[in-house]
């Protein structure tokens, strides 16, 4: 199980504006500290022992942050409409479009996804694979 994912950021206020445009809508709470941002899902009685957390921090080595080539972090939404709304909110908060929300021929018929780049260049996916919604073929 993944415990946490960290991305680097040189401009924490700008990163906060971007990630706070969609992560709270997915249930993530934010804690800020001198070392950066920590987004976490609330623990519940039916939740796994450790829910994955998402951190945004300046690199520990003091060098500029950079996006990983081929790296991507995906956040699951509940519905296709939520993917569209959160993708738009993230763009309005300083993100760059990497592929608008929709179905992709290479993925499953119910996999609805939109891609973004955060202000630092990290690739982010917002997706829904809700079987109760119309799929690509229907």
- At 41-93, the pLDDT tens digits run 988 756 556 688 999 999 999 999 999 888 999 999 999 999 999 999 999 99
Domain span at residue 8 reads 4-58+70-128
Dihedral of alpha carbons 94, 99, 102, 106, sign: negative
How far is residue 109's CA from residue 131's CA, in Å, rounded to a whole number? 9
How far is residue 125's CA from residue 131's CA, in Å, rounded to a whole number? 19
How far is residue 103's CA from residue 48's CA, in Å, rounded to a whole number? 30
Cβ atoms 87, 33 nearer than 8 A: no
The answer to the question of residue 136 being in a domain is no
What's the CATH code of the domain at 32? 3.10.180.10
Q: What is the pTM of this model?
A: 0.90
The answer to the question of residue 38 being in a domain is yes
The answer to the question of residue 135 being in a domain is no
SS3 state of residue 7: strand
């Amino acid at each position: 199980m993944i415990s946490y994912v960290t991305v680097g950021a040189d401009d924490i206020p700008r990163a906060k504006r971007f990630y706070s445009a969609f992560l709270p809508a997915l249930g993530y709470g934010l804690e800020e500290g001198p070392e950066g941002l920590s987004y976490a899902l609330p623990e519940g009685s039916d939740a796994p022992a450790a829910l994955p957390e998402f951190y945004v921090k300046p690199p520990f080595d003091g060098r500029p942050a950079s996006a990983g080539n081929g790296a991507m972090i995906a956040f699951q939404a509940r519905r296709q409409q939520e993917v569209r709304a959160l993708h738009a909110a993230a763009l309005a908060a300083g993100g760059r479009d990497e592929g608008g929300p929709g179905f992709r021929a290479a993925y499953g018929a119910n996999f609805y996804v939109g891609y973004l780049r955060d202000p630092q260049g990290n690739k982010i996916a917002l997706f829904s694979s809700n079987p109760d919604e119309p799929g690509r073929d229907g």
